[in-house]
Structure 1
Amino acid sequence: MKKSELRKIYLEKRKNLSQDEVFFLSEKIFTNFINYFKPISEQKVHIFIPIEKFKEMNTQVFIDYFLSRNIKVFVPKIVDAKLISVEIFSDTQFETNNWGIFEPISNEDFEVLDFDFVITPLLYCDFKGNRVGYGKGFYDEFFSNISKDSKKIGVNYFNPDDMIDDVWENDIPLDYLVTPTDVLSFFNKSE
């Protein structure tokens, strides 16, 4: 199935979730992530702040957990059409940008490339780790610049069902997908 079709289907599926379902499913994804990856103090995690109007999963539970355990937390921010990584702390100041996205006030790019985990938003992911996002390409460019040892982890309410037909050569697949029911690894997935 084409990315445009999958994007439409999964935006609609998400739109139909209640706030209670978003919260419940987010908690299950969080639990699966913690149990599988077992993050520890001093590790570095890059994690998105959800776009609530698109019913992205609630990542605050992750952020609170990481900060309480001395795990370094970085969030994405688009500055001059580029995704940068801003380190956040429990007292970081945030504001809502022009697109309605909550983000840190700071524009300081910490230029970290060796994340332990990059927790990635998406609308859909297939059985090979190919993902469908919002179509802007920010994460593919970001993935191409970070350490190859950084674990690229998608989080989604839904498990894979269809293969993505129009994967582009610049698309960089995920290493893992965490859903409310599974943690899928995409290592050694051949054609």
Structure 2
Amino acid sequence: MLKAELRKKYTQKRKALSPDEAFLLSGKIFENFIRHFNPQEGEKVHVFIPIPARKEIDTQIFIQYFLKRNIRVYVPKIVGDKLISIEIFEETVFETNSWGISEPVSNEDSGENNFQYVITPLLYCDRKGNRVGYGKGFYDGLFQNISAEAKKIGVNYFDPEEYVDDVWEKDIPVDYLVTPTEVLSFLSGWE
């Protein structure tokens, strides 16, 4: 299917989830992530902050877990037309931007690009790791500038069914997809 069709289909499927269903599925995604990847103290994780109005996966569960275990947490912030990475702490002050995203007040880019994990928002991901997001390309830009060792991990309520037919040259797939039921790898020689 084309990205536009997938974007529409999975936006509708997400909207159909009740708040309780979204919360429960987010918890299962979190459990699968922790069980499979088991991040350790001192490791660096870049993780998006969800947009509640869009029923994105509740990554606040992830963020609280990481902060309590001294796993370094970085979140994205759009400044101008660029996505920067800001390290956050328990005391970080947040504000809601015009898109309804809670983000740090600070505009100070950490300059960090050596993450162990980059937890990536998406509307859909196929069985090749091709992502369908909101179409702005911010994460393709981020992926171009991070360490090759970083694990790019998509999280989604839904398992892949259709393939993305209109993958572009500059589209960068994720390495893994975590759903409520499984963890898929798109890397050869997956453990």
TM interval, short-chain normalised: over 0.9
- Counterpart residue type for residue 157 of structure 1: Y
Alpha-carbon distance between aligned partners in 1 of 2:100 and 2:41, rounded to the nearest angstrom: 32
Residue identity (%): 67
CA positional deviation for 1:80: 1.3
Name the structure 1 match of 2:186: 186
Name the structure 1 match of 2:141: 141
C-alpha RMSD of the superposition: 0.8
Name the structure 1 match of 2:63: 63
TM-score (norm 2): 0.98
CA deviation map 1:162-191 (0-9, x unaligned): 0100000000010000000000000129xx
Alpha-carbon distance between aligned partners in 1 of 2:100 and 2:185, rounded to the nearest angstrom: 33
Alpha-carbon distance between aligned partners in 1 of 2:66 and 2:100, rounded to the nearest angstrom: 25
Does structure 1 residue 101 correspond to structure 2 residue 78? no
Alpha-carbon distance between aligned partners in 1 of 2:99 and 2:187, rounded to the nearest angstrom: 35
Alpha-carbon distance between aligned partners in 2 of 1:55 and 1:108, rounded to the nearest angstrom: 28
- Counterpart residue type for residue 94 of structure 1: F
Does structure 1 residue 88 correspond to structure 2 residue 88? yes
Name the structure 2 match of 1:132: 132
Does structure 1 residue 173 correspond to structure 2 residue 177? no
CA positional deviation for 1:98: 1.5
CA positional deviation for 1:99: 1.6
- Counterpart residue type for residue 64 of structure 1: Q
Name the structure 2 match of 1:16: 16
Taking the TM superposition and a 5 Å limit, the aligned residue runs for 1:154-173 are 154-173=154-173
- Counterpart residue type for residue 130 of structure 1: N
Alpha-carbon distance between aligned partners in 2 of 1:97 and 1:144, rounded to the nearest angstrom: 25
- Counterpart residue type for residue 41 of structure 2: S
CA deviation map 1:119-145 (0-9, x unaligned): 000000001000000000000011011
Alpha-carbon distance between aligned partners in 1 of 2:105 and 2:158, rounded to the nearest angstrom: 32
TM-score (norm 1): 0.98
Alpha-carbon distance between aligned partners in 2 of 1:114 and 1:84, rounded to the nearest angstrom: 14
Alpha-carbon distance between aligned partners in 1 of 2:62 and 2:148, rounded to the nearest angstrom: 23
Alpha-carbon distance between aligned partners in 2 of 1:158 and 1:100, rounded to the nearest angstrom: 23
Alpha-carbon distance between aligned partners in 2 of 1:138 and 1:112, rounded to the nearest angstrom: 16
Where in structure 1 do 4 or more consecutive aligned residues deviate above 2 Å?
Answer: none
Alpha-carbon distance between aligned partners in 1 of 2:15 and 2:4, rounded to the nearest angstrom: 16
Name the structure 2 match of 1:7: 7
CA positional deviation for 1:101: 1.1
- Counterpart residue type for residue 152 of structure 2: K
Alpha-carbon distance between aligned partners in 1 of 2:111 and 2:172, rounded to the nearest angstrom: 20
- Counterpart residue type for residue 71 of structure 2: I
What are structure 2's unaligned runs of at least 5 residues?
A: none
